[in-house]
Structure 1
């Protein structure tokens, strides 16, 4: 029944309200999934999906819809063209506060999700996403469920119009339905702030925070309310916010500024460093994605060009390199091996293993580099380490299985070689070379 309800909400959005979606994404799979959701599941006959692969054209379309009073929901990738979309989202919410925005992400950390909501995102969809998941998220984005949400929307409009008494009446209605509603309490606090009664506002915000300790908004209200009134409290709530949403560079800078005023320069420097590190990490994700796109464009046509750009991004990232960057080292190693630079490839994998010592792919690739250099025994040692980390890592790769089978065969480890040839045959039953070598290994083992 719930799924039908969501379908109905989304259908009405497209067919009765004339709503549209602007999708800013280079992901063709998500585009097809979203299109199929609208056409096949929802059954909309209108051309209501607008897809753009770059931000500028997408923004022009959003402005056009706003000008013509067309209800618009924006789906935007976390990264577009290798660049984080954070600034675009912040700008959109500043210019069009009521615009509904859904961010599309791959795997991401909790603090990233917290930051998205903090900058005004209405919902987050993790990819790959099912049609049902898209419908449910879209339904909650375009029409938050329940009477409380309806009252909150009305209350905010009344507050913006300066109708404080009417807003307080709405607060009473919200709190009669849900006595400890953080949203209702904050709305009442906002009325008191507008009326200049800061202490009454703080009391409401505190009660809202006590109702939901992980909810960021009451903490933000408290930090703002205490600014210029009580620096200890102001700092306390800034730091609580920082623990819950540690990617906000402006807040880290504000915390540092408080410590500067207190002449605690070591603590100020700590937060300023964290702000720079967080901003750098955001920029580095852009550099890393750009390098990856360049190497994908180059492909196997020029290993030396791939080496140039991959080495550059690893150099730029420097101290910020982490396990998410292992793919860069693996690509660089392949580019080096493609030029016969096996020693340099081994040095590259050694550096990567200091960051991620348990990565079986790095151990395997280092083994192949040793094999390129003619040291079969070192290659076998690397393969043994890779298998210790993940005994099944080769199962989906015919090439890795054949390579390891051949190298174990060359050092007369027949029993160890056999499973690799058998796996090749599982993936490619007609592989004649694997069949012959499997037979030879079986004979030797018997």
Structure 2
């Protein structure tokens, strides 16, 4: 069960504040889950979820809500129509800084998430997501502002108006409530910087950084404070930011510029190359996404067409293939097996294992390819390796249990086969094939 306080926060957002949700996604399953979640919270209201499959119509709705002073929480896919949504998110936050945005992703790395927060995203949801997970993420995104946040808003307004004394007084109040508040310390630093007290500003930013080492904003403030003043310190904090959020191509370019100014052209070239590589990877992720969508679209109807597009994206990535690309290899293997190309499938899985030798799924799939080629001993050997890597990987899959049980049985390794048919029967007591196979094993071993 989700925490009741989260339910209450989301309920108040819809019922008391008359807030809405704008979903920009092509994912019908997530759309259904989000609709069910909102219905669970509100009971009967149906006009608070607006769904769109393309960016333009979604943005029009967001602008309409802004004009009507209607609060919006935006759920947006990391990729829409095969393209990264990064530019869209940056544009939305630039035009509407207070807009709340939740990005929907598949599996992703920590540094990717760091970059999302850096460009202004409020939260990230990994799919598939449960109802409770959606409620919790929404609650954290729309949670009513407490005293600290109220003071921060007031302090920023004073700072923007040039009322430095008032802004400094507000930062003092924040730090009385929470002495190590990074936001309060950064506000204090901003006041000192505007007052020309650079050293005091840097001290405040350093304290903010010490209070929350993975928080990017204090590091950005420090880099900015040292820019044009102390090149060594400026470079140090740019590099710290780059380590925490390496997808930022502008930052890599800025690091390269510093090295150019220092006449260290080799190091400059290194960071310029990394900036281009990062941009290339972003483009490649788009290519990969399109290829996967094509592959999914043709499915079993045309394994040869699926093979064509998956092979293209793997080839285009060259030496840039990583563990994140294993799904491409698995899908290509299935497409090859669907055409009876079991040797090519094995070559494909062998290449994938060079990237991730401990992936039990790859060893399992290789075993299935060997079985397609009637190489029974090699199939069983591949399964043995998969089980060494992860002894329990099959336990939640009736299909994998039946496949492994069948192949071990054909190899007359009855003790092994018994384990998998027993598991299949536990997962589905109506599996008559598993029951029949177990009976056959008992007869063969009695």
SS at match of 1:299: helix
Distance 1:436 1:409 in 2: 12
Q: CA deviation at 1:145?
A: 4.1
Q: Provide Cα deviations, 1:41-75, integer angstroms capped at 9, x if missing partner.
A: 24573611111122221111111222233222212
Gap change, CA 1:367 and 1:100, over 3 Å in 2: closer
Q: CA deviation at 1:36?
A: 3.3
Over residues 114-141 of structure 1, what are the superposed CA-to-partner deviations in whole Å (9 max), with x where a residue is unaligned? 2221111122334444445434433333
- Is this contact kept in 1: 2:11–2:41, CA < 8 A? no
The yes-or-no answer on 1:224 pairing with 2:224 is yes
Match of 1:315 in 2: 315
Partner Cα distance (2:306, 2:69) in 1: 48
In structure 1, distance between residues paired with 2:376 and 2:39: 57
Q: Distance in 2 between matches of 1:214 and 1:183?
A: 14
Q: Aligned partners of 1:400 and 1:9: how far apart in 2?
A: 42
- Name the structure 2 match of 1:332: 332
What's the secondary structure of 1:150's corresponding residue? helix
What secondary structure sits across from 1:391 in the alignment?
Answer: coil
Structure 2 partner of 1:371: 371
In 1, Cα distance between equivalents of 2:387 and 2:418: 15
Is residue 2:120 matched to residue 1:113?
Answer: no
Query: Closer, same or farther in 2 for the Cα pair 1:16/1:408, shift >3 Å?
Result: closer
Asked whether the equivalents of residues 38 and 44 of structure 1 are also in contact (C-alpha less than 8 Å), the reply is no
Q: Is the alpha carbon distance of 1:153 and 1:409 closer, same or farther for their aligned partners in structure 2, counting shifts above 3 Å?
A: same
SS of corresponding position for 1:125: strand
1:431 CA drift (Å): 5.3
Change (3 A) 1:178 1:287: same
Matched, 1:50 2:38: no
> Which moved further from structure 2: 258-267 or 226-235?
258-267
- Return the alpha-carbon distance in structure 2 between the equivalents of residues 140 and 383 of structure 1: 44
Report matched runs for 1:22-421 at 5 Å.
Answer: 22-43=22-43, 45=45, 47-143=47-143, 145-421=145-421
Deviations 1:286-321 (A, max 9, x none): 222222211111011111101101101111122221
- What is the distance in 1 between the residues matched to 2:85 and 2:442? 56
Q: Is the 8 A contact 1:15 1:44 kept in 2?
A: no
Deviation at 1:389, TM superposition (A): 2.4
Change (3 A) 1:437 1:97: closer
- Quick one: distance in 2 between partners of 1:434 and 1:207? 64
Number of residue pairs matched by the alignment: 445
- What is residue 438 of structure 2 aligned with on the other side? 438
Partner of 1:20: 20
Q: Which runs of 5 or more structure 2 residues have no equivalent in the other structure? A: none
- CA distance in 1: counterparts of 2:335 and 2:98, whole angstroms: 48
Confirm or deny: 8 A CA contact 1:14 1:46 kept in the other structure: no
Deviation at 1:4, TM superposition (A): 5.1
RMSD: 2.7
**Alignment check: 8 A CA contact 1:11 1:44 kept:** no
1:175 deviation in Å? 2.8
TM-score by length of structure 2 reads 0.90
| Residue 251 (structure 1) shift | 1.1
| 1:223 CA drift (Å) | 0.4
CA distance in structure 2 between the aligned counterparts of 1:388 and 1:420, rounded to whole angstroms: 15
Contact 2:235 2:258 in 1 (8 A): yes
